[in-house]
């Protein structure tokens, strides 16, 4: 399924497909500076992936952004994972 929007790039939602997801904190602020906060964020990310049947393969969480590599179960759940 291809989702097209006027104000955002096109998104292709596919089942059983690897997705590389990147998120950043507004204004590149270092709000994830402690290991405790990084661990809590990872726990929330894992919960979100598990709730939708996605597989979280690799991740890195830095002080102001993160990268995730996961496999979709239902590609259209990508927007729910990101929220």
Tens-digit pLDDT profile for residues 20-50? 999 999 999 999 999 999 999 999 999 999 9
Burial code of 43-71, b = ≥16 C-beta within 10 A, e = fewer?
eebeebbeebebebeebebeeeebebebe
pLDDT > 70 in the chain, percent: 90
pTM for the model stands at 0.84
Q: Is the pLDDT of residue 5 over 80?
A: no
Say if strands 2-5 and 8-12 run parallel, antiparallel, or are unpaired.
Answer: antiparallel
- Domains (range + CATH), the chain: 12-82 (3.30.70.1290)
Average pLDDT across the chain, whole number: 92
Confidence at residue 10, expressed as pLDDT on a 0 to 100 scale: 76
């Amino acid at each position: 399924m291809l989702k097209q929007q006027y104000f955002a790039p096109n998104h292709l939602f596919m089942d059983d497909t690897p997705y590389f997801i990147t998120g950043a904190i507004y204004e590149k602020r270092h709000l994830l500076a402690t290991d405790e906060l990084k661990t809590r964020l990872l726990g929330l990310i894992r919960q979100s992936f598990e709730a939708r049947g996605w597989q979280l393969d690799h991740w890195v969480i830095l002080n102001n952004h993160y990268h995730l590599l996961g496999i979709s179960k239902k590609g259209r759940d990508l927007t729910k994972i990101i929220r």
